[in-house]
Structure 1
Amino acid sequence: MSPVIPLTSAHIQAMPGGWTVEKEDSIRIYTLEGKLLSDSVFTEVAGNADFYAVKKKDSWSILRTNGTWFGSATFDEVNLLGNHLFVVKQKKNLSAYSPGGKLIKLPEAEKIRLQLLSAYDNQSWIILENKRGKKGILSVQNGALLPPRYDDIQVWEPDLYKTELKGKFGLVNAKGKILLPAIYDGLDYQKGLIATLKNGKFGLMNVSKSFTIPPQYSALLRNYDQSGRVLIAAKAGRYGLIGADNKPLSEFVFDEIQYWQNEVALVRQDQTWYLYHFVEKRYIFKPIDFIEYIKQSPEEIVLKVYMDKMYGILSNTKGQVVSCDYEDLANVGSETFPLYLGEKYIDDADIYLVFYINREGQPMRRQIFNANKYQRMLCD
């Protein structure tokens, strides 16, 4: 196998898409296959996936990694951004490259940084900052520019920017139109929902503004289920359920709320758990002293429960899988294929009954041990 770059005393360095060979303060660029990319000789070279920034004497030029030049202009400085962009300076003015092949002027820009949105195929925005610390933004995709006027700005979606002015937060779109005035103490974005904070109270809205809940709750609102039509809210440290229209679906009397079924919630008051049908406003199962999650997935929730001083298994899709008849109960299988081992102690006979129960609640095997043998088995 012959070498790509012949043996030489020169310094060889790997670059995106090729190699540089430096000898006596002169640099040449080669392709990955070892072919000379350009006849020119440079004094400095930097590269990303699409471009090389190359310097001759006191000026910089842009050479594409396919060997063609980006125009004939020279620049005072070149900054490569990410894999596909660059920013150039000419006579103290900054301009950014856009995928359309044009240079877009960045007015007042003293500093720049790049923001990518991975959820949108790594679309790019350039955050620019002027000498007074004010920030603006350039959309690399379409060249839309918001001049520096904000204390801070951040892209949440291609047409949704979070802004900060005098310590308060708001929202604007890509054209600078105000969607939410900068009057909030905090804004948080997740999966199309925007949590709002004002005067110590929390609210919620979605990006489409199909619902807006004013800041009036003492904790962040959370989705109860995947539909987003039912929310968990808090007032004075107690939790309740509300609809997306902000109408209450339960009283605010619970210490904790977890999803169980679309109309039935798993709720805790003090140390006791209940299944509460919030549409019919009633409890539908016995009080539960203790719960332990065996499985928690969108398909099924399985709990080990303790009530009436006995353990059992409860499923949100199958109901009571294993009745609460066991003094101890453990899953010796897996989350996907549970196998329950239930224990009963018969005091009069001083024996232990051990039951093996499948995930459908059907006993598969029973064993009897006297107390001494069972204790030795547990220790082993």
Structure 2
Amino acid sequence: MSAIAWTAAGSLAAWLWLLLCQGFFWRTDVRLPRRTRPDEWPSVCIVVPARDEAAVLPRSLPSLLAQDYPGPAEIFLVDDGSSDGTGELARELARKHGGLPLTVDSPGEPPAGWTGKLWAVRHGIGLARARAPEYLLLTDADIAHAPDSLRELVAAARSGGFDAVSQMARLRVESLWERLVVPAFVYFFAQLYPFRWIGRKGARTAAAAGGCVLLRTDAAERARVPDAIRHAVIDDVALARAVKRGGGHIWLGLAERVDSVRPYPRLRDLWRMVSRSAYAQLRHSPLLLAGTVAGLALVYLVPPVAVVAGLVGADAATAAAGGLAWLVMTGTYVPMLRYYRQPLWLAPLLPFTAFLYLLMTVDSAVQHYRGRGAAWKGRTYTRPDALPDEG
């Protein structure tokens, strides 16, 4: 066998392992677990950090105001230094739509060592503490919830004994680039953090989706959230790890009626979304970056290259190994495309999308070393080990 044939065989072996041994990450049936209605509904405070969100707030905030929740619930929207009138718009929407009580406040600029979002979350939790809620719902300003969303989240947490229940909101998929990139984003996330492993007690895998996290207040206090993760750019995964380290039981799955209304119509928009945190995911390690690039190439790029090389060179072994690997890859992507209601002809294009993610990851590292890494809405965050030690 030629070197390319051995490489294609290695890619096929990797895909067979991913298919059977990575928590069945490719299945999309991990939804809110079975739940029963509690006899008494606990109090909940909803914390919404918002920075320059006037464009999406009219589609998201009314859905929170309209929550059909049988217990006490209140919303705290924290305006994180917006320049587009986000805070006043929120008040106007509350006056227009009514519903749950809304408080709008601003904490001012975050101090050194804090990301803006987590500083806003800290302020919101501080405001909520006066109500002594049993649960906190941390949700982003671009997330729209079905009227029964809060009720179902609380019922799931109570029924399963979970300290944190998180749903990965269904992202918008309308433009061509969104169709190519967005379902793959969730697919890759599930591959890194298989949902089935996250919900197991004692399992080390921990992750959450920051757009929708229902968190027991006492679990947040035990985990020192958000103070313990104040510098985290990928704050949802950091939050889940902190809760799990504190002995908490967490759950993460795909949402059915929780949707992001934020548009990413151009490739540039999606590129910025991914590249701003990709290198932080790799802990700013050149070694991990090199390993990630090599892994993406072996798993996603080798199969189509092997098929073409095998056909051109009349190398049946190479073409067969590459073709089988590509087939398994395509088959594992189909459930995610169905979840996003996208045409299945997109499945064989996953190698192209993976190549885009590879370039985004490399660009994330380049921007980091140029001093422009982890930039979002006018702020650029320093890597944690460059921050002053607060003891």
TM normalised by structure 1 equals 0.21
The structure where helix makes up a greater share of residues is 2
Structure ranking higher in strand proportion: 1
Larger relative contact order, structure 1 or 2 (CA cutoff 8 Å, min sep 6): 2
